[in-house]
A and B are shown apart, each in its own frame.
Chain A
Amino acid sequence: MINHIVFIFIFLLGFYAILVKKSLIKMVIGLNIMEGAIFYWFIAITDRGGIIPIVQSTQVAFNLNDPIPQALILTGIVIGASTSAFLLTLIIELNKFTDSTNPDQLGGIIED
């Protein structure tokens, strides 16, 4: 239960940063916090307290932790890193046209 509460708290913290902060860089950090919360939660809820794979053939293979969440989170981290790298590139690109990184001065994130 504590895992779910901590997850929701950190996730909403990141969401708060995206909604409230007046800097695009801080909003990207908010996205990363949300992703981090998900990765933490996934590891926490699939943990059975066993041996961590990869297991060598000589060891007794019982009470293993599921290796698939690790693989999925690794992919998730790669995707998260590439999206934030791409967003930061766009923010650098934006710096050529304007000095501001305030989303409200750039037409807002809610209005179209």
Chain B
Amino acid sequence: MELLLLLLIIIPLLTAFLIPLIDIINKKARRILVLAASLAEFFTFLFLVINNWDNIADGTIFIIYKMGGWLPPLGIVLSLDMLSFYFSLLITISVMFLILYSIGYIGHHEGKYYVLIFLMWTAMQGVVLTGDIFNFYVFVELLLITSAALIGFRRNKKGTIASIKYMFYGVIGGLFIFIGIILLYSNLGTLNYAEISANFTTLPFNTQGIISILFLIGLFIKLGIFPFHFWVARAQSTAPSPISALLSGVVEKVYIYAFLRLFWVVFDFNYIQTTGLDKIIIFTAITSSIIGHILALQESDLKRMLAYSTIGHLGIIIAVLTVNTKLAIIAGLLHVLSHLLMKISLFTTAGYLLQFVPSHQIKDSRGVAQQNMFVFAGFIIAAAGMMGLPPMLGFFSKLYIVKSFLDNSYYLSALLTIAGSITALIYYARYIIYGFRKIKLNSPQEFRLILSVLYRERLVTNIALVFAVAVLITGLIYKNFFGPLESVANILYNPSIYIDFILGG
């Protein structure tokens, strides 16, 4: 049973190294291997869920895997509690669907692509499951290098520049985290999350502050929050569409997991609240959010517009989590889910629609609705979620975000969240109106693929529609998410449970 945690990390890692070997033998077998491995990962997770269903339902799931049999404070542990379960679930399902989408979307240099995407999957599962802070750093750097390689995957000038830029920001962010880890180790003599958590408050007041600020700067650089948001638009717009979806939808959520795990469970959140650091975080994040929405409004390129909208939403999520009431945490976690579904849906549908237009410019997108009504409808559903229109999950998550801002008298934040939604309404409506504009076709053949990389059209459209339908359905059943998310919030509020499970078990 404990071995399943290791398998979640090992299966993608092993597949990444098997793909080049399979390539030598038979190139046709590669896609079968990719499909089999992603299904194997999914069924491993499913097996884990079925076996622990009772514990998951009442929120007491806790699995620990001791690497090499070494006991926790000395050895490295992998652990799964409700918080890591929630994020691991999101990662497993969305990356599996995005790999299926890639099978239809990526038509060249496939071998390299799948090696990198599986390593990225390894890194994301590793960050979520690990219980050791240095291990966390190693997985974060693995995530950085593989995602940078995928950003520059098209091997053109724009992609290479975007990749270099992403690397510089990411490495510097990683160095800040590394300095924080060194300070933790030299003061506490341990790298285990639980032991750090048990002893963190014994540190001198200033040391606690320096460590918190170093980790905060590192994570904000990697998340692309306001003073460090310069890499986001380039990186997410030049990458292939499934990778844009992955970066914006999933990788950013992994860093949000790190933010939650480190600042609530491992470090002491009371420290941040007593020093007033939380006001600064909320201010920065909300500024970041409104800047992201304004930059998206003035953007004429579709994928860059979506990337700026990511900055806008991440700012809101970070701000509402920092408010730190139970409702605020639940609202933030709900928005993590809804933003993940909506952004993946937008990027996958856009990736399909952009095959039929001469450039990524919004004004060139005239008449894309004529080409494929279903996919365009998917885009509209996801965009409606982004604007915060009622039946979608985006509406309910934003409703609770605004409610938790108002309850704690952050009136300006609530106002700016609503203003951001209205801005989103304008910039998505602009694209949709262009899409509906009729253009006269000279011949039926004229609207064929302009960029002929898409060779399994049906697979791509179906996966894109799966995410759009998920946005709609999760909106209809949003009340069911409150129970599980409340038990996630309980983990955050009671670090002692985590400490007892790891050090006591």
Please give the residue numbers on chain A whose beta carbons come within 8 Å of chain B beta carbons, in ascending order: 18, 24, 27, 31, 34-35, 38, 41-42, 45-46, 66, 68-69, 72, 75-76, 79, 82-83, 86-87, 90-91, 93-94, 97-98, 106-107, 109-112
**Cα–Cα, bound, A107→B174 (Å):** 24
The interface-forming segment of B177-185, B255-263, B442-450 is: B177-185
Contact of B232 with A112 in the complex, beta carbons under 8 Å: yes
**Could you say which residues of chain A place their CB within 8 Å of the CB of B469?**
none
Any A CB within 8 A of the CB of B47: no
Please give the residue numbers on chain B whose beta carbons come within 8 Å of chain A beta carbons, in ascending order: 134, 138, 141, 144-145, 148-149, 152, 155-157, 160-161, 163-165, 167-168, 171-172, 174-175, 178-179, 181-182, 185-186, 189, 191, 229-234
Contact of B148 with A86 in the complex, beta carbons under 8 Å: yes
Q: Is the interface of A mostly helix, strand, loop or mixed?
A: helix
CB distance from B306 to the nearest CB of A (A): 14
**Could you say which residues of chain A place their CB within 8 Å of the CB of B148?**
86, 90
Contact of B156 with A97 in the complex, beta carbons under 8 Å: yes
**Could you say which residues of chain A place their CB within 8 Å of the CB of B181?**
72
**Cα–Cα, bound, A98→B155 (Å):** 13
CB distance from A51 to the nearest CB of B (A): 18
**Could you say which residues of chain B place their CB within 8 Å of the CB of A72?**
134, 181-182, 185
Contact of A90 with B152 in the complex, beta carbons under 8 Å: yes
**Cα–Cα, bound, A47→B263 (Å):** 29
User: Contacting B163 at CB < 8 Å: which of A45, A68, A90?
Assistant: A90
**Cα–Cα, bound, A24→B164 (Å):** 9
Contact of A18 with B175 in the complex, beta carbons under 8 Å: no
User: Contacting B171 at CB < 8 Å: which of A24, A31, A94?
Assistant: A31
**Cα–Cα, bound, A77→B189 (Å):** 21
Contact of B234 with A112 in the complex, beta carbons under 8 Å: yes
User: Contacting A86 at CB < 8 Å: which of B149, B161, B172, B231?
Assistant: B149
CB distance from B378 to the nearest CB of A (A): 28
CB distance from B72 to the nearest CB of A (A): 15
Contact of A112 with B229 in the complex, beta carbons under 8 Å: yes
Contact of A38 with B141 in the complex, beta carbons under 8 Å: no
**Could you say which residues of chain B place their CB within 8 Å of the CB of A35?**
175
Contact of A94 with B179 in the complex, beta carbons under 8 Å: no
